[in-house]
Structure 1
Amino acid sequence: MLITDFDSLTPLPANGDIGLDFVFAGTFNVYYNANPNGDWSNPNTFTDGQLVARFSRNETLFVQIGPVSHHVLTETLLYSQNFRFNNKTYSFRRLTPDGITLNQFVSNTSLQGTTDFPFGLAFAGNGVSILRKE
């Protein structure tokens, strides 16, 4: 599960029917829990596992077109801790030594949140690891 400080958006003037939001620099954490028990009504339960990675991002733009937003950004790996899954040891330091580029599509319709996370957004995307040349 990943937890991010993605609440750091500032709307910019629209360009016709295209909206832009400025996304502040920030971090996101990835947690691994061998016995997950996350509760969507309490997002803090997703941090019950082991912190296995922390990434940072620079400022970016979040593009809104109609009901969908698009966001592409590169995250730099700051921290990595080994973890075991299916009797194998993994590390983001080995999987993504120089970071990851994310390509995200997000619904512009916010979902009801909780006290600590006042809103949520449904999204789908993919990530590409940045490999180091040797």
Structure 2
Amino acid sequence: MAHLYTAHANVSGGREGHGRTDDGRLDVKLARPGAMGGENVGTNPEQLFAVGYGACFEGALATVARRRKVKLGQTSVISMVSLHSVEDGSFRIEAALDIEVPDVDDDNLVIDLVREADMVCPYSNALRGNVDVAISANGLWVKGPREFGERSA
């Protein structure tokens, strides 16, 4: 396995603290969301995770398409990360991705590309077996809980 990159960040104060990357490009005030009793005055870890996962997955999709010589056109990913409390006092996250590939007319091809991207994406690989993930593409169910309706190709 070839090492490609390591990100470095310093976080202090937890959910009501501050996070900054070593290069200063990301510098955020962290705050609890209003739904958890916070004042919505900063970014929370779930938002950061959702942005990271969405960006990484879209990059994996572009890689898979390029390898298969498919022109995707403009794509977008709506990513959602939910935090849940568990009866034993621990916490779990769930994730959902809604991928839009409007310039590819073949629904089966889009679903195949998204499934392959799910196997390539490092976030998906880290989550597999640990976090429930639902994925849809162009409104069609791809995997996980059918959070995006019952349509399928």
Q: Output the TM-score relative to the length of structure 2.
A: 0.28
Task: Select the structure that is richer in strand.
Answer: 1
Task: Select the structure that is richer in helix.
Answer: 2
Larger Rg: 2
Larger RCO, structures 1/2 (Cα 8 Å, 6+ apart): 1
Q: Output the TM-score relative to the length of structure 1.
A: 0.30
